[in-house]
Chain A
Amino acid sequence: MVHSAEKSELFVSVIEAHKGILFKITNSYCKNAEDRKDLLQEIIIQLWKSFDRYDSHFKFSTWIYRIALNVSITYFRKANRRKQVYGAITDDILWMSEENTSNTLEIEINYLHHSISELKPLDKALMILYLEENSYKDIALIMGISETNVGTKINRIKAALKEKFSTIKTL
């Protein structure tokens, strides 16, 4: 049995190794910085709560994607309740250095984010997984649908996303 301190250390290392996934998901589901902080904290709490149930047949990333997406879609509105239960941790868990939106690339990234944020919750989940270059097999495992269905849905969402992106760009 892993000692609790070792378990905590392992958990923190897993989170650190996958911090990019967590940031991108929370950023896609929450535009407001304060809400994002709450959502991220809720995801990490849920990850910790299910850490003992982690099935080593899956990659850590699959486990993290499932929980982070499920929490983002469902649990976010319970953020206030969570504050009462666990007590708020006031400092950020993840932070970015000052954003600079002066160059074209950054502006385009912002356009992409804006387009993604307008997608429906499940479409958004699928698009994030696609942009993260997960294989259809992995996406199917995370989402719980067939690989064929993943392909069909991605094509449909991609078309919608491109349209949103072009519309935002021309505004």
Chain B
Amino acid sequence: MQDTDLIQLWKSYDKKLEENLAINRQNTFEITKLKLKSHLVSMKPLKMFTIILGILWVIFLDSLIVVLFHFASPFLLISAGLVSLLNKLAIGIYIYQMALISEVNIDAPVISTQDKLARLKSSTIWIARILFLQIPFWTIFYWNSQMFENGNALLWTLQILITISGTYLALWLFFNIKYENKDKSWFKLLFSGAGWNPVAESIKLLEEVEDFKDER
């Protein structure tokens, strides 16, 4: 098949379109009258729900710290404080990313627009990295003075083992959840849910963008 054959075939399709394609002017005109809502209002309910849930969770943790400040063990207060801080960071990054995505110029050249969007969307994995850092705090928040006074060797061996494993896992995930590991089976397993599909698609598109930028 010659190049001209491909173009000729496409042209015959063009001809067919010219004969048969019609535009509904009224419907197109209607679009110009639609009131376009802000990005925040247009946000998917599930995303909005996730943010609200996150904010409520942070408020709960902060309230807990304030209410129990004079009674609770320092482990609970410190754990709750740091979990709250990590969640605040994650919520902040999520909202900031969505705001940046909404501001990307859709009328800019295809490669630069897709590059920006894919980078922003795939950087959502930063949220996962930050949230995984809270694992160790979930293994110490219940420590209290009674445990120190009455706990036996077995309890403390088990407890230290859990905390060290949790810390190792959190740090390992924090340093290894990155674009370079996208083909590893654990990475695919971790980011296989429907919620992560846009991220996976963005990573795939980013590869294609990189390939396009390559002049070879």
Task: Mark each residue of chain A from 150 to 163: 1 if its CB lies under 8 Å from any CB of chain B, else 0.
Answer: 00110000100110
Given known A8-B32, A44-B31, A46-B106, contact A109–B9 (CB-CB < 8 A): yes
Using Cβ atoms and an 8 Å threshold, which residues of chain A touch B32? 7-8, 11-12, 48
- Count A interface residues, CB 8 Å: 74
Contact residue among B28, B201, B209 (Cβ-Cβ distance under 8 Å from A15): B28
Interface centre among B10, B43, B117 (most CB of A within 10 A): B10
Using Cβ atoms and an 8 Å threshold, which residues of chain A touch B13? 24, 109, 112-113
Using Cβ atoms and an 8 Å threshold, which residues of chain A touch B24? 91-95
B contact residues, range: 35 or more
Tell me the total A-B contact number using a CB cutoff of 8 A. 166
Q: For chain B, what secondary structure do more than half of its interface residues adopt (helix, strand, loop), or is it mixed?
A: helix
- Find out whether the CB atom of A50 lies under 8 angstroms from the CB atom of B6: no
CB distance from A162 to the nearest CB of B (A): 5
- Find out whether the CB atom of B114 lies under 8 angstroms from the CB atom of A122: yes
Within 8 A of B (CB), among A68-127: 69-71, 73-75, 77-78, 80-82, 84-87, 89, 91-97, 105-106, 108-109, 112-113, 120-123, 125
Does B178 lie at the interface of the complex (its beta carbon under 8 Å from any beta carbon of A)?
no
- Find out whether the CB atom of B33 lies under 8 angstroms from the CB atom of A73: no
CB distance from A50 to the nearest CB of B (A): 5
CB distance from A61 to the nearest CB of B (A): 13
Q: Which residues of B contact A (CB under 8 A)?
A: 1, 3, 6-7, 9-10, 12-14, 16-18, 20-25, 27-34, 36-37, 41-45, 105-114, 117, 198, 201, 205, 208-209, 212-213, 215-216
